[in-house]
Amino acid sequence: MNSNRKNKNNTDNTATGVVAVDGNSVCADTSSSRHHTDKQLVRERFEASFGRYNRLAHVQQRICAELATLLQELKRAGQGSKIKRVMEVGRGTGFLTSRLVTIWPEAEWFLNDIATSAGKYVAKYVAGADVDWLWGDAEEIGFPGDLDLVVSASTVQWFDDMPAFVAK
């Protein structure tokens, strides 16, 4: 969000994108052609808020439900029936993960998040599934080969270079 308003610290947001995570601001410098997200701050804020996240993130829950419905429809139409290796980027507390494992229960899962404490929230959804945990910034880590599906619900807004990520 770019605005000429003062934020809660009474500083000017004109050249800074400010995004809230659980009411806390994470700034990205948008004064140049490329912005830079403070990934360490993003990780710290999510780590601190995971205990409350499921109660508060209503929009994210709805996004995940709608995305899962679309993916289920693709599978029913035969377009997703051969998906065997799935990577979820930024899976957080598992809103999308919990739905996807019911669509493709036999798939091999590669679950990514920048915040390692998220694993304890997701483990219950993937019990018995073939899971590899990929911790770290999805823009920086390597991807497994031969993926059939790479999916993310509410993570790409934190990326600094979307074209480079998509090229991976």
Q: Which of the four pLDDT bands, split at 50, 70 and 90, describes residue 102?
A: very high
- Give mean pLDDT, residues 69-82: 90
Handedness of CA 84, 100, 149, 73 (dihedral sign): positive
- Give mean pLDDT, residues 119-136: 89
Tell me, what's the pLDDT at 15?
A: 31
Examine the pLDDT at 56 and tell me if it is beyond 60: yes
Examine the pLDDT at 139 and tell me if it is beyond 80: yes
52 by DSSP, 3-state: which? Answer: helix
| Cα separations in angstroms, 32 against 16, 17, 155 | 10, 11, 22
Secondary structure letter of residue 142 according to DSSP: P
Tell me, what's the pLDDT at 52?
A: 80
Q: Which of the four pLDDT bands, split at 50, 70 and 90, describes residue 97?
A: very high
Average pLDDT, the chain: 78
CA distance 155 to 109: 18
- Give mean pLDDT, residues 99-127: 90
Cα-atom radius of gyration of the chain, to the nearest Å? 17
Question: Which of 7 and 146 is assigned the larger pLDDT?
Answer: 146
Examine the pLDDT at 144 and tell me if it is beyond 70: yes
Examine the pLDDT at 71 and tell me if it is beyond 70: yes
- Give mean pLDDT, residues 132-155: 93
Q: Which of the four pLDDT bands, split at 50, 70 and 90, describes residue 124?
A: confident
